[in-house]
Amino acid sequence: MQFNLNKLTIKAQESFQNAIEIAQNYNNQIIEPEHILAALVQESGSIADSILKKTGANVDAIKIKVNELLESLPKVSGAGVGNQQMSQNSAKLLDAATEEARNLKDEYISTEHLLLALVEDKGKTGQILKDNGITKKNILSALKDVRGKQKVTSQNPEDTYQSLKKYGKDLNELVNAGKLDPVIGRDEEIRRVLQVLSRRTKNNPVLIGEPGVGKTAIAEGIAHRIVAGDIPENLKTKKLVALDMGALVAGTQFRGQFEERLKSVIKEVQESNGEIILFIDELHLLVGAGATQGAMDAANILKPALARGELHAIGATTLNEYKKHIEKDAALERRFQPVLVSEPSEEDTISILRGLKERYEVHHGVRITDGAIVAASQLSERYITDRFLPDKAIDLVDEAASKLRIEIDSMPEELDTLERKVKQLEIEREALKREKDEASAKRLE
Protein backbone atom coordinates (compact mmCIF):
# COMPACT_ATOMS: atom_id res chain seq x y z
CA MET A 1 0.00 0.00 0.00
CA GLN A 2 1.31 3.42 -0.92
CA PHE A 3 0.65 6.21 1.58
CA ASN A 4 1.13 9.93 1.02
CA LEU A 5 3.89 10.88 3.49
CA ASN A 6 3.09 14.57 2.98
CA LYS A 7 -0.05 14.00 5.07
CA LEU A 8 2.15 13.20 8.08
CA THR A 9 3.81 15.71 10.39
CA ILE A 10 7.63 15.68 10.54
CA LYS A 11 7.60 13.82 13.90
CA ALA A 12 5.17 11.22 12.52
CA GLN A 13 7.44 10.74 9.47
CA GLU A 14 10.40 10.28 11.83
CA SER A 15 8.40 7.67 13.76
CA PHE A 16 7.78 5.69 10.55
CA GLN A 17 11.44 5.92 9.60
CA ASN A 18 12.35 4.65 13.08
CA ALA A 19 9.79 1.83 12.72
CA ILE A 20 11.56 0.70 9.51
CA GLU A 21 14.94 0.78 11.30
CA ILE A 22 13.52 -1.22 14.25
CA ALA A 23 12.15 -3.82 11.81
CA GLN A 24 15.60 -4.07 10.17
CA ASN A 25 17.30 -4.47 13.58
CA TYR A 26 14.96 -7.35 14.47
CA ASN A 27 15.26 -8.89 10.96
CA ASN A 28 11.52 -8.44 10.37
CA GLN A 29 10.44 -7.94 6.78
CA ILE A 30 6.89 -6.80 7.57
CA ILE A 31 6.25 -3.56 9.50
CA GLU A 32 3.59 -4.32 12.10
CA PRO A 33 1.80 -1.96 14.57
CA GLU A 34 4.31 -3.25 17.16
CA HIS A 35 7.14 -1.53 15.27
CA ILE A 36 5.15 1.73 15.10
CA LEU A 37 4.44 1.60 18.85
CA ALA A 38 8.13 0.89 19.56
CA ALA A 39 9.07 3.94 17.45
CA LEU A 40 6.50 6.16 19.21
CA VAL A 41 7.72 5.33 22.72
CA GLN A 42 11.30 6.04 21.62
CA GLU A 43 10.50 9.37 19.93
CA SER A 44 11.33 12.31 22.19
CA GLY A 45 9.86 15.79 21.79
CA SER A 46 6.74 14.55 19.97
CA ILE A 47 3.15 15.07 21.14
CA ALA A 48 2.81 11.32 21.77
CA ASP A 49 5.83 11.52 24.09
CA SER A 50 4.25 14.46 26.00
CA ILE A 51 0.92 12.59 26.23
CA LEU A 52 2.52 9.41 27.61
CA LYS A 53 4.27 11.49 30.29
CA LYS A 54 1.04 13.35 31.14
CA THR A 55 -0.95 10.10 31.53
CA GLY A 56 1.66 8.87 34.02
CA ALA A 57 2.23 5.69 32.01
CA ASN A 58 5.27 3.53 32.73
CA VAL A 59 7.05 4.00 29.38
CA ASP A 60 9.87 1.60 30.35
CA ALA A 61 7.34 -1.18 31.04
CA ILE A 62 5.72 -0.54 27.64
CA LYS A 63 9.15 -0.71 25.95
CA ILE A 64 9.92 -4.09 27.60
CA LYS A 65 6.56 -5.58 26.53
CA VAL A 66 6.90 -4.24 22.96
CA ASN A 67 10.45 -5.65 22.70
CA GLU A 68 9.13 -9.06 23.79
CA LEU A 69 6.50 -8.87 21.02
CA LEU A 70 9.13 -7.86 18.44
CA GLU A 71 11.30 -10.84 19.42
CA SER A 72 8.37 -13.18 18.73
CA LEU A 73 7.71 -11.84 15.18
CA PRO A 74 8.85 -13.91 12.16
CA LYS A 75 12.46 -13.20 11.17
CA VAL A 76 14.09 -13.32 7.74
CA SER A 77 17.71 -13.38 6.71
CA GLY A 78 19.54 -12.72 3.50
CA ALA A 79 18.62 -10.30 0.72
CA GLY A 80 15.04 -9.61 1.84
CA VAL A 81 15.97 -7.95 5.15
CA GLY A 82 16.37 -4.43 3.76
CA ASN A 83 13.09 -4.34 1.82
CA GLN A 84 10.42 -3.75 4.48
CA GLN A 85 6.72 -3.77 3.60
CA MET A 86 3.70 -2.46 5.52
CA SER A 87 1.42 -5.16 6.90
CA GLN A 88 -2.34 -5.07 6.45
CA ASN A 89 -2.70 -4.26 10.17
CA SER A 90 -0.35 -1.25 9.81
CA ALA A 91 -2.34 -0.02 6.80
CA LYS A 92 -5.54 -0.27 8.88
CA LEU A 93 -3.78 1.59 11.69
CA LEU A 94 -2.94 4.46 9.31
CA ASP A 95 -6.56 4.59 8.14
CA ALA A 96 -7.68 4.75 11.78
CA ALA A 97 -5.13 7.54 12.48
CA THR A 98 -6.44 9.45 9.43
CA GLU A 99 -9.96 9.13 10.85
CA GLU A 100 -8.78 10.35 14.29
CA ALA A 101 -7.18 13.41 12.64
CA ARG A 102 -10.44 14.10 10.81
CA ASN A 103 -12.44 13.83 14.05
CA LEU A 104 -10.11 16.32 15.75
CA LYS A 105 -10.35 18.61 12.68
CA ASP A 106 -6.59 18.41 12.08
CA GLU A 107 -5.02 18.90 8.66
CA TYR A 108 -2.07 16.51 9.19
CA ILE A 109 -1.64 13.10 10.84
CA SER A 110 0.52 13.54 13.92
CA THR A 111 1.99 11.15 16.51
CA GLU A 112 -1.02 11.63 18.82
CA HIS A 113 -3.36 10.33 16.09
CA LEU A 114 -1.17 7.24 15.72
CA LEU A 115 -1.30 6.75 19.50
CA LEU A 116 -5.11 7.07 19.49
CA ALA A 117 -5.31 4.51 16.67
CA LEU A 118 -2.96 2.13 18.55
CA VAL A 119 -4.98 2.27 21.79
CA GLU A 120 -8.13 1.39 19.82
CA ASP A 121 -6.30 -1.47 18.08
CA LYS A 122 -7.88 -4.87 18.80
CA GLY A 123 -4.47 -6.59 18.64
CA LYS A 124 -1.60 -6.98 21.10
CA THR A 125 -0.40 -3.35 20.88
CA GLY A 126 -3.75 -2.02 22.06
CA GLN A 127 -3.68 -4.54 24.92
CA ILE A 128 -0.18 -3.42 26.03
CA LEU A 129 -1.33 0.21 26.24
CA LYS A 130 -4.53 -0.71 28.12
CA ASP A 131 -2.56 -2.90 30.57
CA ASN A 132 -0.46 0.17 31.39
CA GLY A 133 -3.51 2.31 32.12
CA ILE A 134 -3.61 4.16 28.79
CA THR A 135 -7.11 4.63 27.39
CA LYS A 136 -8.57 6.80 24.65
CA LYS A 137 -10.20 8.97 27.33
CA ASN A 138 -6.98 9.83 29.18
CA ILE A 139 -5.10 10.35 25.88
CA LEU A 140 -7.71 12.93 24.82
CA SER A 141 -7.58 14.54 28.28
CA ALA A 142 -3.76 14.80 28.16
CA LEU A 143 -3.97 16.04 24.56
CA LYS A 144 -6.23 18.89 25.67
CA ASP A 145 -3.60 19.91 28.28
CA VAL A 146 -0.78 19.81 25.72
CA ARG A 147 -2.55 21.33 22.72
CA GLY A 148 -5.27 23.45 24.23
CA LYS A 149 -7.62 24.54 21.45
CA GLN A 150 -4.94 24.47 18.77
CA LYS A 151 -5.19 22.31 15.66
CA VAL A 152 -2.51 20.59 13.59
CA THR A 153 -2.27 23.03 10.69
CA SER A 154 1.39 22.52 9.75
CA GLN A 155 3.92 19.71 9.51
CA ASN A 156 5.76 21.01 12.56
CA PRO A 157 2.95 21.66 15.09
CA GLU A 158 5.13 20.91 18.15
CA ASP A 159 6.65 24.40 17.77
CA THR A 160 3.29 26.03 18.46
CA TYR A 161 2.08 23.98 21.44
CA GLN A 162 2.53 25.27 24.99
CA SER A 163 4.45 28.17 23.47
CA LEU A 164 4.64 30.17 26.68
CA LYS A 165 6.18 27.18 28.46
CA LYS A 166 8.81 26.79 25.72
CA TYR A 167 9.59 30.41 24.96
CA GLY A 168 8.83 32.07 28.29
CA LYS A 169 9.52 31.91 32.02
CA ASP A 170 6.65 32.17 34.48
CA LEU A 171 7.92 34.77 36.97
CA ASN A 172 5.06 34.06 39.41
CA GLU A 173 6.16 30.41 39.51
CA LEU A 174 9.79 31.43 40.08
CA VAL A 175 8.76 33.67 42.98
CA ASN A 176 6.76 30.80 44.54
CA ALA A 177 9.80 28.52 44.15
CA GLY A 178 12.03 31.13 45.85
CA LYS A 179 14.26 31.43 42.77
CA LEU A 180 13.99 35.21 42.36
CA ASP A 181 15.95 37.61 44.56
CA PRO A 182 13.86 39.94 46.74
CA VAL A 183 13.33 43.41 45.29
CA ILE A 184 14.09 46.24 47.73
CA GLY A 185 13.05 49.81 47.02
CA ARG A 186 12.03 50.91 43.52
CA ASP A 187 8.54 51.57 44.93
CA GLU A 188 7.99 54.69 42.84
CA GLU A 189 8.82 52.93 39.55
CA ILE A 190 6.76 49.85 40.46
CA ARG A 191 3.80 52.10 41.34
CA ARG A 192 4.15 53.91 38.01
CA VAL A 193 4.22 50.59 36.09
CA LEU A 194 1.11 49.36 37.95
CA GLN A 195 -0.61 52.67 37.13
CA VAL A 196 0.13 52.22 33.40
CA LEU A 197 -0.97 48.55 33.50
CA SER A 198 -4.30 49.63 35.00
CA ARG A 199 -5.06 52.04 32.13
CA ARG A 200 -7.79 51.20 29.62
CA THR A 201 -5.66 51.92 26.54
CA LYS A 202 -1.92 52.29 25.98
CA ASN A 203 -1.51 50.07 29.03
CA ASN A 204 1.90 48.67 28.07
CA PRO A 205 4.73 50.27 30.07
CA VAL A 206 8.31 50.24 28.75
CA LEU A 207 11.09 50.59 31.34
CA ILE A 208 13.85 52.81 29.99
CA GLY A 209 17.14 53.15 31.82
CA GLU A 210 20.89 52.60 31.65
CA PRO A 211 22.29 49.04 31.84
CA GLY A 212 22.47 47.77 35.42
CA VAL A 213 20.02 50.21 37.05
CA GLY A 214 17.52 47.42 37.78
CA LYS A 215 14.91 47.36 34.99
CA THR A 216 14.48 43.59 35.13
CA ALA A 217 14.35 43.79 38.94
CA ILE A 218 11.27 46.05 38.66
CA ALA A 219 9.45 43.38 36.61
CA GLU A 220 10.51 40.79 39.20
CA GLY A 221 9.26 43.14 41.93
CA ILE A 222 5.83 43.20 40.26
CA ALA A 223 5.83 39.38 40.19
CA HIS A 224 6.68 39.39 43.93
CA ARG A 225 3.78 41.77 44.59
CA ILE A 226 1.30 39.72 42.52
CA VAL A 227 2.21 36.58 44.50
CA ALA A 228 2.01 38.46 47.82
CA GLY A 229 -1.33 40.03 46.81
CA ASP A 230 0.12 43.50 47.45
CA ILE A 231 -1.29 44.91 44.22
CA PRO A 232 -4.45 46.67 42.92
CA GLU A 233 -7.55 44.43 42.75
CA ASN A 234 -7.67 44.42 38.93
CA LEU A 235 -4.13 42.94 38.72
CA LYS A 236 -4.32 40.35 41.54
CA THR A 237 -5.03 37.36 39.26
CA LYS A 238 -2.45 38.26 36.61
CA LYS A 239 0.47 36.05 35.64
CA LEU A 240 3.77 37.63 34.55
CA VAL A 241 5.67 35.67 31.89
CA ALA A 242 9.14 36.74 30.66
CA LEU A 243 9.51 36.15 26.91
CA ASP A 244 12.81 34.51 25.92
CA MET A 245 13.68 36.05 22.54
CA GLY A 246 16.72 33.77 22.15
CA ALA A 247 14.60 30.61 22.44
CA LEU A 248 11.98 32.13 20.15
CA VAL A 249 14.47 32.81 17.34
CA ALA A 250 16.65 29.70 17.86
CA GLY A 251 16.36 27.05 15.16
CA THR A 252 14.05 29.03 12.87
CA GLN A 253 16.00 28.46 9.68
CA PHE A 254 12.95 28.28 7.39
CA ARG A 255 10.86 31.26 6.38
CA GLY A 256 7.70 31.59 8.42
CA GLN A 257 8.85 29.46 11.38
CA PHE A 258 9.60 32.47 13.59
CA GLU A 259 6.28 34.15 12.76
CA GLU A 260 4.45 30.90 13.52
CA ARG A 261 6.09 30.63 16.96
CA LEU A 262 5.45 34.27 17.85
CA LYS A 263 1.83 34.07 16.67
CA SER A 264 1.28 31.00 18.83
CA VAL A 265 2.66 32.94 21.85
CA ILE A 266 0.34 35.88 21.08
CA LYS A 267 -2.60 33.48 20.64
CA GLU A 268 -1.96 31.89 24.05
CA VAL A 269 -1.81 35.33 25.68
CA GLN A 270 -5.04 36.38 23.91
CA GLU A 271 -6.82 33.19 25.00
CA SER A 272 -5.95 33.94 28.64
CA ASN A 273 -8.39 36.91 28.43
CA GLY A 274 -5.89 39.43 29.76
CA GLU A 275 -4.70 37.23 32.64
CA ILE A 276 -1.15 36.97 31.23
CA ILE A 277 1.22 39.94 31.08
CA LEU A 278 4.29 39.45 28.88
CA PHE A 279 7.62 40.86 30.06
CA ILE A 280 9.84 41.55 27.03
CA ASP A 281 13.40 42.27 28.13
CA GLU A 282 15.60 43.98 25.51
CA LEU A 283 12.48 45.23 23.71
CA HIS A 284 14.59 46.69 20.88
CA LEU A 285 15.41 43.13 19.74
CA LEU A 286 11.82 42.86 18.47
CA VAL A 287 12.56 45.42 15.77
CA GLY A 288 14.05 43.37 12.97
CA ALA A 289 13.86 40.03 14.81
CA GLY A 290 13.03 37.20 12.44
CA ALA A 291 12.76 39.52 9.44
CA THR A 292 14.06 37.92 6.27
CA GLN A 293 13.25 38.75 2.67
CA GLY A 294 9.47 38.84 2.42
CA ALA A 295 8.95 38.18 6.14
CA MET A 296 7.65 40.49 8.86
CA ASP A 297 9.71 41.33 11.92
CA ALA A 298 8.41 40.59 15.41
CA ALA A 299 7.37 44.19 16.08
CA ASN A 300 4.96 44.20 13.12
CA ILE A 301 3.37 40.94 14.31
CA LEU A 302 2.89 42.35 17.83
CA LYS A 303 1.50 45.75 16.77
CA PRO A 304 -2.09 44.69 15.88
CA ALA A 305 -2.53 42.74 19.14
CA LEU A 306 -1.10 45.65 21.15
CA ALA A 307 -3.33 48.14 19.32
CA ARG A 308 -6.48 46.11 20.05
CA GLY A 309 -5.48 45.76 23.70
CA GLU A 310 -5.46 41.95 23.40
CA LEU A 311 -1.82 41.78 24.41
CA HIS A 312 -0.60 43.13 27.73
CA ALA A 313 3.17 43.68 27.83
CA ILE A 314 5.93 45.28 29.89
CA GLY A 315 9.04 46.16 27.89
CA ALA A 316 12.57 47.01 29.04
CA THR A 317 15.36 48.64 27.06
CA THR A 318 18.17 51.18 27.37
CA LEU A 319 17.77 54.84 26.45
CA ASN A 320 20.12 54.55 23.45
CA GLU A 321 18.38 51.47 22.06
CA TYR A 322 14.97 53.10 22.58
CA LYS A 323 16.01 56.15 20.55
CA LYS A 324 17.76 54.06 17.91
CA HIS A 325 15.07 51.42 17.28
CA ILE A 326 11.73 52.12 18.93
CA GLU A 327 11.41 55.90 18.46
CA LYS A 328 12.04 55.39 14.73
CA ASP A 329 9.00 53.08 14.56
CA ALA A 330 6.25 55.56 15.46
CA ALA A 331 3.50 52.93 15.40
CA LEU A 332 5.37 50.72 17.88
CA GLU A 333 6.32 53.67 20.09
CA ARG A 334 2.65 54.68 20.33
CA ARG A 335 1.74 51.29 21.78
CA PHE A 336 4.10 51.70 24.75
CA GLN A 337 4.10 54.18 27.64
CA PRO A 338 7.68 55.07 28.73
CA VAL A 339 8.63 54.72 32.41
CA LEU A 340 12.08 56.17 33.09
CA VAL A 341 14.24 54.21 35.53
CA SER A 342 16.99 56.38 36.99
CA GLU A 343 20.11 55.19 38.77
CA PRO A 344 19.46 54.73 42.52
CA SER A 345 21.37 56.89 45.02
CA GLU A 346 24.13 55.50 47.26
CA GLU A 347 21.64 55.32 50.17
CA ASP A 348 19.11 53.39 48.07
CA THR A 349 21.87 51.05 46.88
CA ILE A 350 22.83 50.33 50.50
CA SER A 351 19.17 49.41 51.21
CA ILE A 352 19.09 47.15 48.12
CA LEU A 353 22.33 45.42 49.19
CA ARG A 354 21.01 44.90 52.73
CA GLY A 355 17.99 43.17 51.24
CA LEU A 356 20.17 40.89 49.09
CA LYS A 357 22.83 40.27 51.77
CA GLU A 358 21.31 37.05 53.11
CA ARG A 359 21.13 35.45 49.63
CA TYR A 360 24.84 36.11 49.02
CA GLU A 361 25.80 34.91 52.52
CA VAL A 362 23.99 31.60 51.93
CA HIS A 363 25.50 31.19 48.45
CA HIS A 364 29.12 31.90 49.45
CA GLY A 365 28.96 30.61 53.03
CA VAL A 366 30.55 33.77 54.45
CA ARG A 367 29.24 36.61 56.61
CA ILE A 368 28.92 40.01 54.96
CA THR A 369 29.18 42.91 57.43
CA ASP A 370 27.13 46.07 57.13
CA GLY A 371 30.37 48.07 56.80
CA ALA A 372 31.26 46.02 53.70
CA ILE A 373 27.88 46.87 52.17
CA VAL A 374 28.31 50.61 52.81
CA ALA A 375 31.89 50.48 51.44
CA ALA A 376 30.73 48.60 48.30
CA SER A 377 28.15 51.29 47.55
CA GLN A 378 30.50 54.23 48.21
CA LEU A 379 33.65 52.83 46.58
CA SER A 380 31.88 51.53 43.46
CA GLU A 381 30.31 54.97 42.96
CA ARG A 382 33.67 56.70 43.47
CA TYR A 383 35.96 54.48 41.40
CA ILE A 384 33.82 52.60 38.84
CA THR A 385 32.65 55.43 36.64
CA ASP A 386 31.66 53.56 33.49
CA ARG A 387 28.91 51.48 35.12
CA PHE A 388 25.75 52.09 37.12
CA LEU A 389 24.42 51.46 40.62
CA PRO A 390 23.18 49.11 42.04
CA ASP A 391 24.70 46.59 39.58
CA LYS A 392 28.34 47.62 40.14
CA ALA A 393 27.95 47.58 43.96
CA ILE A 394 26.29 44.12 43.87
CA ASP A 395 29.18 42.91 41.68
CA LEU A 396 31.72 44.18 44.23
CA VAL A 397 30.04 42.34 47.12
CA ASP A 398 29.70 39.16 45.04
CA GLU A 399 33.33 39.30 43.86
CA ALA A 400 34.71 39.98 47.36
CA ALA A 401 32.64 37.16 48.90
CA SER A 402 33.75 34.79 46.12
CA LYS A 403 37.43 35.69 46.70
CA LEU A 404 37.08 35.12 50.45
CA ARG A 405 35.36 31.76 49.91
CA ILE A 406 38.21 30.59 47.65
CA GLU A 407 40.79 31.70 50.22
CA ILE A 408 38.95 29.77 52.96
CA ASP A 409 38.59 26.62 50.83
CA SER A 410 42.07 26.59 49.35
CA MET A 411 45.65 27.54 50.16
CA PRO A 412 46.34 31.25 50.84
CA GLU A 413 47.30 33.11 47.66
CA GLU A 414 50.88 33.87 48.84
CA LEU A 415 51.60 30.20 49.67
CA ASP A 416 49.97 29.07 46.43
CA THR A 417 52.20 31.47 44.42
CA LEU A 418 55.35 30.25 46.24
CA GLU A 419 54.44 26.59 45.71
CA ARG A 420 53.93 27.14 41.99
CA LYS A 421 57.30 28.97 41.85
CA VAL A 422 58.98 25.98 43.59
CA LYS A 423 57.44 23.60 41.03
CA GLN A 424 58.66 25.83 38.20
CA LEU A 425 62.22 25.87 39.61
CA GLU A 426 62.18 22.07 40.05
CA ILE A 427 61.27 21.63 36.37
CA GLU A 428 64.05 24.05 35.43
CA ARG A 429 66.57 22.12 37.60
CA GLU A 430 65.67 18.78 35.95
CA ALA A 431 66.08 20.36 32.51
CA LEU A 432 69.46 21.91 33.39
CA LYS A 433 70.78 18.59 34.77
CA ARG A 434 70.59 17.16 31.26
CA GLU A 435 72.67 20.02 29.81
CA LYS A 436 76.50 19.76 29.64
CA ASP A 437 77.48 23.40 28.98
CA GLU A 438 79.15 25.66 31.52
CA ALA A 439 76.26 28.21 31.74
CA SER A 440 73.78 25.47 32.71
CA ALA A 441 76.15 24.12 35.37
CA LYS A 442 76.58 27.63 36.76
CA ARG A 443 72.76 28.16 36.80
CA LEU A 444 72.36 24.89 38.73
CA GLU A 445 74.63 26.15 41.50
CATH number at 309 reads: 3.40.50.300
Q: Identity (one letter) of the amino acid at 175?
A: V
Q: How many domains does the chain have?
A: 4
Instruction: Specify whether 266 is located in the same domain as 389.
Output: no
Residue 344 has pLDDT above 70, yes or no: yes
Instruction: Specify whether 102 is located in the same domain as 131.
Output: yes
The per-residue pLDDT for range 6-56, each reduced to its tens digit, is: 788 888 888 888 888 888 888 888 888 888 888 888 876 667 777 777 777
Instruction: Specify whether 328 is located in the same domain as 391.
Output: no
Q: Which domain holds residue 108?
A: 5-160
Instruction: Specify whether 318 is located in the same domain as 170.
Output: yes
Instruction: Specify whether 52 is located in the same domain as 150.
Output: yes
Check residues 241 and 5 and name the one with the higher pLDDT: 241
Instruction: Specify whether 314 is located in the same domain as 355.
Output: no
User: 377-381, 399-403, 418-422, 434-438: which range is least confident on average?
Assistant: 434-438
Q: Which of 131, 160, 189 is the last residue of a domain?
A: 160
CATH code, domain carrying 369: 1.10.8.60
Instruction: Specify whether 298 is located in the same domain as 248.
Output: yes
Q: Which of 135, 160, 185 is the last residue of a domain?
A: 160
If you average pLDDT over residues 119-138, what whole number do you get?
Answer: 81
User: Can you give the pLDDT at residue 206?
Assistant: 92
Q: Which residues pair with 53 in a beta bridge?
A: none
Instruction: Specify whether 169 is located in the same domain as 151.
Output: no
User: Can you give the pLDDT at residue 296?
Assistant: 52
User: Can you give the pLDDT at residue 274?
Assistant: 79
Confidence of residue 293 (pLDDT cuts 50, 70, 90): very low
Instruction: Specify whether 213 is located in the same domain as 355.
Output: no
Q: Give φ, ψ of 369 to 5 degrees.
A: -80, 160
User: 88-92, 317-321, 322-326, 410-414: which range is least confident on average?
Assistant: 410-414
Q: Which of 310, 340, 370 is the last residue of a domain?
A: 340
Confidence of residue 90 (pLDDT cuts 50, 70, 90): confident
Instruction: Specify whether 68 is located in the same domain as 197.
Output: no
Instruction: Specify whether 366 is located in the same domain as 267.
Output: no
CB-count burial class (<10 Å; 0-12, 13-18, 19+) for 227: middle
Instruction: Specify whether 75 is located in the same domain as 151.
Output: yes
